[in-house]
Structure 1
Amino acid sequence: MFFKAKKESEINLEQHEQLEYAHFRIKQKKRLYTHFVIFLVGSVFLVLINKILKYGETYDWFIWAITFWSFLFVMHVINVFFTQKFLGKDWERAQREKLVHKQKQKIAELQKEIETDFPLSQINKKKED
Structure 2
Amino acid sequence: MIIRKLRLQKGWSQEQLAEVSGVSVRTIQRIERGQTPGLETMKSLAAVFEVELSTLQPKEDTMTPEQLNTLRHTMTEEEKDALEYVRDLKGFYSNLTSYCVFITFLLILNLLTNPEYLWVVWPALGWGIGVAIHGLNVFEVTNFFGQDWERKQVEKRLGKKL
TM-score (norm 1): 0.52
**Are 1:23 and 2:23 counterparts?**
no
C-alpha distance in 2, partners of 1:92/1:43?
A: 33
Match among 94, 107, 110 for residue 50 of structure 1: 110
C-alpha distance in 1, partners of 2:116/2:149?
A: 51
Q: In the alignment, what sits opposite 2:146?
A: 87
Distance 1:95-1:14 versus aligned 2 partners, 3 A rule: farther
C-alpha distance in 2, partners of 1:58/1:94?
A: 51
Q: CA deviation at 1:87?
A: 2.2
Q: CA deviation at 1:85?
A: 9.3
For residue 78 of structure 2, give the secondary structure of its aligned residue in structure 1. Answer: helix
Match among 125, 133, 137 for residue 75 of structure 1: 133
Give a deviation string over 1:82-126, Cα, whole Å, max 9, x none: 2459823x7756886896449xxxxxxxxxxxxxxxxxxxxxxxx
Unaligned 5+ runs, structure 2: 1-72
Aligned Cα RMSD in Å?
3.1
Q: In the alignment, what sits opposite 2:123?
A: 65
| Identity level (%) | 30
Q: CA deviation at 1:41?
A: 0.8
Q: CA deviation at 1:28?
A: 0.3
For residue 81 of structure 2, give the secondary structure of its aligned residue in structure 1. Answer: helix
Q: CA deviation at 1:57?
A: 4.5
C-alpha distance in 2, partners of 1:72/1:25?
A: 19
TM-score (norm 2): 0.43
